Structure 1
Amino acid sequence: MDSETRPPAAVDSQQARRILQRTSGKTTGPITRLASPSDIGQLIKPFVLLDYAELDLPSPIDARLHPHSGIATLTTLVGGSLHFQDSNGQPRSVMDGGVEWMQAGRGIWHGGSVSSTGTARMYQLWIGLPPPLELSAPSQMFLRPEDVPSDGPAHVLLGSLNGRASPICEPQPITYLHVRLREGENWRYTPPAGHDVLWISLYSGSLDAGEHVSEGELAIFEQSERSVDFVASANCGFVLGSAAHSPFDLVEGYYSVHTNTAALQYGEAEIRRLGAQLCVDGRLAPEQAARVERQMSTMTGHGQ
């Protein structure tokens, strides 16, 4: 993979990789849903869901325990810090530039007390796990900002860039970067061989990527392996994802995404088993377990 910061230069519009689709998502309260498995996630899978949130929580709130299976989630802070409980109920903090990685596999529950220092600005990305991993044992990993490698303006959250590799073992070849550019700065991204999915989500400022992209937009590039030049129109920050387009179906449950109906059923059975144990342990209220059961039962998986 090749990426470099270069003096500002005009981008040849005839060679520019076109933006196929863009969206500002749907905002509910402090959270903006930019992509989900039933819509844009189909275009950019294995990236199947992307949320951007701005949380100002000086006093803790209770985020209900809830489950996942079949996916991995990566949460990264681009401002402030977030304090919460991990899947074992232990207190954790993620600072600006830090990362939480959770590979749900066959099933995991998380939630509990959440607060922030300042306004926590964050992305949560869901990645659909391939068949060998979608029913694997769950795991979690936390990276401090200083543990996230960088190459020029790009911080490597998943995958590698010019030999700088994330400590997280990605479930399949994926590159996920957090990039900050100064006004007028030009940065080129060249995907690894086979990566024909490319998208960016801009959370501050604006830039030119052959076309203008504004703050708050998710821009999806045409399926190709061509490089893209980014020229900052103003100081800006964005996340970038690239990968080979996944050949697997997205079979959705209320909290889960799997590659087939049998795997979804297995994951939801494990979620029920874990929920029953959490009730016995006193960590999960029976009424919340019943609520999750009702939600799972109202949504049947469907291949896309």
Structure 2
Amino acid sequence: MLEPSNAPEAGERRAVVHVAKGRGHGDILRLMSPSDLGEHLKPFVFLDLFAGDMRLMQQAMPIHPHSGIATVTVFTEGDVRFDDPGAGTGTLAFGAVEWMRAGGGVWHGKELSAGQSPRIQGFQLWVALPPELENGPVESQYIEAAQMPRVGPATLILGSHAGATSPVRAPEGMNYLLVRLVAGEPWSYAPPEDHQVGWIAVAKGSVDAGRPILPGEIAIFEDGAAPIAVTAGAEGATFVIASSKPHAHPLHLGYYSVHTTAEALARGEARIAELGAKLQQAGDRRTTGGNVPIYR
């Protein structure tokens, strides 16, 4: 049950109805999983805030599978390198994005490698795909910061907002923005009227959204058509904010997969197993830069 909180009067801005702290293990804070807040915020079903030395993180991250979802990775500090035969090479820094639509099945985990910075921080989000895509083809995009649209202090990661449209080929009906505010700066986000789902997660600093939201916390907003208004704290703030139409499907969960039906989950897990067997035979797939391209 989500607990209500003190909030501004209805109609002025959406009230915060729940705040949760991330659960930590190593350099990763788990803010949302499909079995908890993901049930309330679907199609957004999983969110990690990660930080640390990318060299160590890449070594520790095992190659692992997904199906039925897309992953969205953005960076709030530092930079990493991508090196993929199908996408070329480049750098992902603040405002850049890796989009991977796992669809019917994929193995990944080491496709990004250390850049120039000694430390990185960022968010990885999972999006539950609609039935027409959940067992479909895999797709990857690596989009550098210069190609991502800016709307004031916000970088538009997914969707459309204020006349701008993200180049990420995500399903319609969801927006996802990365925002950086200076100390005391107010900012307001007006989602489309049919975006009933809304949430915010803070990486650095803090925001006041009717109640304080601190680093490593995620806050859920009430359903409605009112804007979401925040003010940065004394140290400024870096955060992600998202809104969407509700995901009109149940969540059927595998260990790394999320599907809309048990049948779709079974197809995804069968494809993952098939790919896993082929991956074992593929040998060393590392590029000269040390990356291991996504296996599909």
| Aligned position for 2:183 | 183
Amino acid across the alignment from 2:283:
G
Distance 1:12 1:40, change over 3 A: closer
For 1:21, the equivalent position in structure 2 comes to 18
Q: Does 1:146 align with 2:146?
A: yes
Alignment pair present for 1:67 and 2:68:
no
2:290 matched residue in structure 1: none
Deviations 1:96-148 (A, max 9, x none): 22110000000011133743532110100000001011011001001101011
3-state SS, counterpart of residue 168 of structure 1:
coil
Matched residue type, 1:282: G
Q: In structure 2, what is the Cα distance between the partners aligned to 1:257 and 1:20?
A: 26
What does residue range 33-48 of structure 1 map to in structure 2 within 5 Å? Answer: 33-48=30-45
Q: Distance in 1 between matches of 2:269 and 2:55?
A: 35
Tell me how far apart the structure 1 counterparts of residues 86 and 271 of structure 2 sit (CA, whole Å): 16
Cα RMSD, aligned residues only: 2.2
1:267 aligns to 2:268 (yes or no): yes
CA drift at 1:207: 1.7
**CA separation in 1, counterparts of 2:268 and 2:176?**
26
The residue correspondences of 1:119-134 to structure 2 (distance < 5 A) are 119-134=119-134
| Aligned-partner Cα distance in 2 for 1:174–1:198 | 10
Q: Specify the alignment match of 1:208 in structure 2.
A: 208
Partner of 2:251: 250
Contact (CA 8 Å) 2:74, 2:98: kept in 1 or not?
yes
Measured at CA, do residues 181 and 167 of structure 1 come closer, stay the same or move farther in structure 2, by a change above 3 Å?
Answer: same
> For 1:208-257, what per-residue CA distance to the aligned partner results, in whole angstroms no more than 9, with x for missing partners?
11222222210001122211221122211110010011111110001100
Rate the CA distance shift 1:230–1:247 in 2: closer, same or farther, 3 A.
same
Matched to 2:114, the amino acid is S
Instruction: Name the SS for the 1:172 alignment partner.
Output: coil
1:141-196: per-residue Cα shift (whole Å, max 9, x none)? 01101011001011000011111110012213110000111112111111102000
Once the two structures are overlaid, the 10-residue window that deviates more, 89-98 or 205-214, is 89-98
2:228, 2:221 → 1: CA distance? 9
Map Cα deviations across residues 60-88 of structure 1 (whole Å, 9 max, x no partner): 62532111000000000111112466598
Q: Does 1:279 align with 2:280?
A: yes
Stretch of structure 1 that moved more, 74-83 or 87-96? 87-96
Say if 2:97 is the partner of 1:99. Answer: yes
Judge conservation of contact 1:61–1:115 (CA < 8 Å) in 2. Answer: no
Amino acid corresponding to residue 32 of structure 1 in structure 2: L
Are the aligned partners of 2:66 and 2:257 in contact in 1 as well (CA < 8 Å)? yes
Task: Report the TM-score, using the length of structure 2 for normalisation.
Answer: 0.86
In the superposition, the TM-score normalised over structure 1's length comes to 0.84
Q: What is the SS of the residue equivalent to 1:238?
A: strand
Alignment-mate amino acid for residue 219 of structure 1: A
Q: Percent identity?
A: 40
Separation of aligned partners in 2, 1:217 and 1:233: 14
Which sections of structure 2, spanning at least 5 residues, go unmatched? 1-6, 286-296
Q: Which has the larger displacement, 168-177 or 71-80?
A: 168-177
Asked whether the equivalents of residues 82 and 142 of structure 2 are also in contact (C-alpha less than 8 Å), the reply is no
Unaligned stretches of 5+ residues in structure 1 = 1-10, 285-304
- Show the counterpart of 1:115: 114
Q: Does the aligned pair in 1 maintain the 2:70–2:102 contact within 8 Å?
A: yes
Offset of residue 266 of structure 1? 0.3
